[in-house]
Amino acid sequence: MEPIGKLIKQELERQERSVTWFAKKLSCHRTNAYDIFARDNIDLTLLIRISRILHHNFLKDLSDEVEEDLFS
């Protein structure tokens, strides 16, 4: 399973959004955004906020990965 921070960073890059833009949307400093990219796990409330900001359902991504692991 890919670390959640890496998935978030990949989606941000796919959308061609800057870290500054992302940090502003999260109401945090850029250093905090880089901290998120380095995380292996994340608070559910924060993940929902990020999903809304990026219009991408990271919860579904994680759920799909768990389901694949369970049934493969």
Q: For the segment 15-54, what is each residue's pLDDT rounded down to a tens digit?
A: 999 999 999 999 999 999 999 999 999 999 999 999 999 9
Contact 60, 54 (CB under 8 A): no
Looking at residue 72, its pLDDT comes to 74
Options 3.40.470.10, 3.40.50.2000, 3.90.1170.50, 1.10.260.40; which CATH number does 4-70 get? Answer: 1.10.260.40
Closest by alpha carbon to 11, among 55, 69, 66, 46? 55
Q: What is the reported pLDDT for 52?
A: 98
Instruction: Determine the pLDDT at residue 4.
Output: 96
Contact 61, 50 (CB under 8 A): no
Average pLDDT over residues 53-64: 96
Task: Identify the pLDDT of residue 2.
Answer: 87
